Amino acid sequence: MSILVKTNITVTGYDLLTSLDKIIANADINPGSFLILIDKTISDLYKDKILKSLSRLDKPLTLSIIEAGERQKDILKIPNIIKPFFAQAFDRKSCLVSIGGGVVSDIGGFLSSIMLRGISSIFMPTTLLAQIDAAIGGKNGVDLFIENGNMLKNMLGTFKQPDLVICDVKFLKTLPEHEIISGLGEMAKYYLGWGTPSKEELMGFRDLIKSNNWKGAGNIIHHCQKIKTAITLSDPFEQSGIRQKLNLGHTIGHAVEAVANGELSHGQAVGIGLIAAAKISLLKGLLPENKFAEIRNTILQLGLPVSVSNINKNAVLNALKFDKKDGTFILIKDIGKIIAQIDVEQHIIKQALDEIII
């Protein structure tokens, strides 16, 4: 086991699974039982090692195994997900352990906030996107599917911080390439919004993962976690506008993701959303043409899409009506310089959609 750092409630390192009992004990978490929500693929690969480590805490363990994918976040699926837990005895002293990607973190965070009006929780994010974004910050959301199968992403949710986040970078070794690329969408957001990690660090990270050298990847992952943690601690309930900046690329990105209905990963949609935000910034005179070209080229170099086809622009415009940021945008003035709560005229939004929908 190699622990790089422990900051607030997050432990990041490499090969942590055999020491889960020690990490949890060191965090002063002592529940009456563990309720384990786990992604099926992760369960198939790691369940025995995880259970062996947790069993050393000598507490009852109950599993609920779910499939991966955004469709699992449908509010109507929550009763079936929670059913195995109700088949066993649990109470407010129980702790919900969520092991999987961003979908599992979202569901687990939501469940821990509503079960018996709130129980303790531990996140063990297993994807790059979850380790640098979804499992950090305490926002928990599930989806609402309306007529014609249209998805309102994260329309139902809560604010509740987990008691502990354990990020084992070794999980990432078994991820398919498209899942890694998806995480790079959120990493690019930190670069564009805060100037860190630098472009050189981003490309270095890309080269590390191409060579499957995950032991060297923990530092940049922790760097991204620090940015989000600092922002969310200063604005935990998204009231001051500071936290809104974390939605850079997400306004149009979420709308495109919803209309694509599973054809795009979240990180791919964020990459496209970053291009749209940069285009709007260019059209409003905030961002120079050469910086727009630089941003577009960076997204391409990371292996992310800069456009999408076969989706309806009017459907994307309609999905934007359900955005939770009051219809305003986070825009870019330069690499590392962004501004929030900016009104954007409809004709400029349409021009931005022309850039990303071909």
Helix 177-194 and helix 218-234, axial crossing angle in degrees, nearest 10: 50
209/194 Cα distance (integer angstroms): 23
298 near 199, Cβ under 8 Å?
yes
Q: Are 163 and 130 in contact (CB under 8 A)?
A: no
Q: What is the pTM of this model?
A: 0.89
Q: Which stretch of DSSP H or E encloses residue 14?
A: strand 10-14
pLDDT by residue (tens digit) across 248-301?
999 999 999 989 987 899 999 999 999 999 999 999 999 999 999 999 999 999
Class at the top of the CATH hierarchy for domain 180-356: mainly alpha
**Residue 46: half-sphere exposure toward Cβ, Cα within 13 Å:** 26
Question: For residue 210, which amino acid is it?
Answer: K
As a whole number of angstroms, the distance between CA 36 and CA 243 comes to 30
Q: What local confidence, expressed as pLDDT, does residue 342 receive? A: 94
The residue length of the chain stands at 358
Would you call the peptide bond into 197 cis, given omega within 30 degrees of 0 as the criterion? yes
| The predicted structure's pLDDT at residue 325 | 66
CATH of 2-175, picked from 3.40.50.720, 3.40.50.1970, 3.10.180.10, 3.40.190.10, is: 3.40.50.1970
pLDDT tens readout for residues 330-354: 999 999 999 999 999 999 999 999 9
pLDDT at 141: 94
In angstroms, what CA-CA distances link 300 with 41, 98, 148, 290, 292? 29, 33, 33, 15, 12
Phi, psi of 311 (to 5 degrees): -125, 155
Query: Domain boundaries in the chain?
Result: 2-175, 180-356
Calculate mean pLDDT across residues 217-245.
87
Under 8 Å CB-to-CB from 191, ≥6 apart: which residues? 197, 198, 199, 202, 298, 335
pLDDT at 195 over 70: yes
